[in-house]
Amino acid sequence: MRLKNWHVLCVSVLLVFTMAVTLGCAPEVDDEADTDPDEEPVDEPGEGGTLVLGQAEEADVLHPHRTAAIAANFVMAQMGDALLTRCPETGEIEPHLAEEYEVADDGKEVTFHLREDVTFHSGEPLDAHAYERTLSAVDKEGHGQGAARLGPLEDIHVEDDYTLTLTFSEPFGPLLLNLTSAGYQHAMDPTHLDEYGHDDYGRNPSSTGPWQFDDWMSGESITLTRYEDYAWAEYFYDNESAAYPDEIELRYIEEDSTRMAALEAGELDICSVSLADLDTFKDHPEFELVEYDREGNCSNLWFNHDQEPLDDVRLRRALAYGMNKEAIINAAIDGHGEPAHGILPPVMWGYYENIEDHAYTYQPDKAAELLDEAGWELPEGEDVREKDGETLSLTLMVTPDQEVMRTSEMLQAQYRELGVEIEIDTYEWGTLMEYLSEGRHDLSIVGYSSTDPDWLYQIFHSEEAGVGLNWAFVRDEEMDELVEGIRYTLDEEERREYAEEAQIRAIDNAHWAPIYRSDQYIAVHERVEGFDVNFRGTWLLHDVWLTE
């Protein structure tokens, strides 16, 4: 059988050009088409409908003590409530399921008085016994954030049906803030724990929140249905009873461009916007963009202090001076961000305002000087520096995320100018975490989001090296003292001082080289009313209703 080669050629070339032309003429949005000037705005919230939320990452398991995934926390936060909550504008801690709480003078005991009208999705009342059951299930080995955020918890004592006392071996600074997490600190329904046990609870969760778990299609979506008896919304919501829509569907679409295409096509109601597509949704007649500050840096270069040659602070400083953050921001995130100078973000409590005075600015000459000083010299006619016959070649381990890859390649090019060779190795997140814990890397790029300067303990305390998140393998006694001060002090001013000193020390010793914080945007479809975010970008969904 003989192919008609000419035809194949013509059809293929035509196909390629058609594709080019179609893509070149990306849909021009007609501003006039979809807006009807006579349409009356609808003010009264209406019930019904399915609210579709677009998500990039899927939850792993919906058990608060067995996950550290932001995606899982998001789902659990819709299904659960926390003992405390935060003011959406100021971040102040306010009561929620615990109507009142007292902290003992030594800071080691905290007593909570629970609301008495709260029930689980199964109809069982939420009381101190249920909380005791949830908290005693804390599995410190499980690396779940629910457990990690309870710090040195020693004992849980039920005073009466609605009073609960937690005892700690040390005063635990970030406790109250940690207890505002409706996801990681939701109360687990005892009837579900009886029925499914801890191993299967993660796929059959039940708690006290406005949404109850309904269905999970792996790789596709999670569906939550309205909990009709819900009447204990956080104080800042207008809606005090059950949520308005019938269902929430969390739709998981990993690929950025696919997710953005689905959003633009109107398949998603609310979704974070990838910065590469920001221009599509700016001034789009069907979408409103909500901007917020992320409580964390999106991109940081982690140095492995355990590996030669990065155990030499001069080398770390040289790499920090050799980094052109502005150029990276332009290439990696289209210019939609700002350089990060310190480890913590300005929006977080405890941020040191003058950190910029300590920060490294782009000074390639200074970087080259430091490298020379450290003995890494550039031989005549060579591209890579050498010392005692070894070339200066470093391994950068990252995830294949596109933003991270662009940042990595920019750094690779910038460091090549300095005579430093960077080899980029990509791994899936799970594998990367394992390798970073084992310290196989020289460098890595990892972003984070956190709520409290206690984060500095998790990333810089020597005891967290190899087991926790101290993937920089910082082993510095003075730093240990400072971050212990942050963790185990209750006095706000004292904590703040510790936090500030720790931030300065981390930058002076170049434990990390912070790169950037990107702008964060959420696109909300015009059929969605009542959506808001709090000061740190948490989605506030309880007032949301659908106009169609």
Partner 1 sequence: MTMEGNEDYQQGDQAAPDAVREYSPAKHVLRVFLRNRGATVGLIILLVLICMAVAAPLLAPYDPFEISENLMEPPSGDHLMGTDPLGRDLMSMIIFGSRISLQVGLIAVGIATVVGTVFGLVAGYMEGWVDNVIMRFMDILLAFPGILLALVIIAVLGSGLFNVMIALGIAAIPTYTRLVRGSTLSAKQNEYVMAAQAQGANLSRLLFKHILPNVMAPIIVNATLGVAGAILASAGLSFIGLGPSPPTAEWGAILAQSRQYIRRAWWLVTFPGMAITLTVLSINMVGDGLRDALDPQLKE
Contacts with partner 1, residue ranges (CB under 8 A): 2-6, 8-9, 12, 16, 19-20, 23-24, 26, 255-257, 260-261, 274, 276-277, 279-280, 327, 330-332, 400, 402, 405-406, 408-410, 412-413, 423-426
What is the smallest separation between the CB atom of 103 and partner 1, expressed in angstroms?
Answer: 48
Q: Which amino acid, residue 72? A: A
User: In this complex, which beta carbon is closest to partner 1, that of residue 277 or of residue 519?
Assistant: 277
Tokens of 160: 């009466």
For partner 1, give the closer residue by CB, 3 or 467. Answer: 3
Considering the complex, what minimum distance in angstroms separates the CB of residue 40 from partner 1? Answer: 34
At 161, phi and psi to the nearest 5? -55, -30
Contact 269, 53 (CB under 8 A): yes
Provide the minimum distance between the beta carbon of 172 and partner 1 in the complex, in angstroms, as a whole number.
41
Asked if residue 228 lies in contact with residue 29, where contact means CB atoms within 8 angstroms, the answer is no
Q: Is 63 exposed, middle or buried (0-12, 13-18, 19+ CB in 10 A)?
A: buried
Surface-to-core class of residue 338, CB atoms within 10 Å of its CB (0-12 exposed, 13-18 middle, 19+ buried) = middle
- Is the CB of 361 or the CB of 431 nearer to partner 1? 431
Of the pair 176, 424, the CB lying nearest partner 1 is at 424
| 51/265 Cα distance (integer angstroms) | 15
3-state secondary structure of 290: strand
Please, which residue, 5 or 218, has the CB nearer to partner 1? 5
| Nearest CB to partner 1, comparing residues 8 and 104 | 8
Q: How far apart are CA 244 and CA 226, in angstroms?
A: 8
**Nearest Cα to Cα of residue 237 among 48, 42, 87:** 87
Question: To 5 degrees, how large is the angle CA 114–CA 116–CA 119?
Answer: 105
CB of 421 to partner 1, least distance (A): 11
Shortest approach of partner 1 to residue 413 CB, angstroms? Answer: 5
**Amino acid identity at 548:** E
Closest CA to 313 of 507, 66, 548: 507
Least CB distance from residue 166 to partner 1, whole Å?
Answer: 45
Q: Nearer Cβ to partner 1, position 206 or 280?
A: 280
Residue whose C-alpha is closest to residue 93's, from 107, 79, 103, 78? 103
> 26-35: long-range contacts (C-beta < 8 A, 24 or more apart)?
29/284, 29/285, 31/285, 34/285, 34/286, 35/285
| Closer CB to partner 1, 306 or 401, in the complex | 401
Answer whether 140's CB lies under 8 Å from 150's CB: no
Shortest CB 400 distance to partner 1, Å: 4
Minimum Å gap between C-beta 256 and partner 1 is 5
Residue 539, beta-bridge partner list: 533
Minimal distance, residue 362 CB to partner 1, in Å: 14
Can you tell me the distance from the alpha carbon of 486 to that of 211, in angstroms, rounded to the nearest whole number? Answer: 36
Least separation, in Å, of the C-beta of 440 and partner 1? 13
Decide if 250 contacts 57 (C-beta within 8 A).
no
Minimum distance, C-beta of residue 69 to partner 1, in the bound complex (Å): 21
Nearest-angstrom CA–CA distance, 57 and 255: 10
> CB-wise, 196 or 362, nearer to partner 1?
362
Q: Which is nearer to partner 1, 24 or 123 (CB)?
A: 24
Instruction: State which residue, 21 or 467, has the beta carbon closest to partner 1.
Output: 21
**Residue 84 pairs with which residues in a beta bridge?**
95
The least CB distance from residue 250 to partner 1, in Å, is 22
Which CB sits closer to partner 1, 14 or 42? 14
User: What are the start-end ranges of the E strands in 218-310?
Assistant: 221-226, 247-252, 270-272, 287-292, 299-303
C-alpha to C-alpha distance for 76 and 450, rounded to whole angstroms: 17
Residue 274 C-beta: closest distance to partner 1, Å: 7
| Cα 148 from Cα 286, distance rounded (Å) | 41
Amino acid code (one letter) for 137: A
| Backbone phi, psi, residue 125, to 5° | -75, 150
Hey, what amino acid is at 360? Y
Q: What is the DSSP letter of 241?
A: S
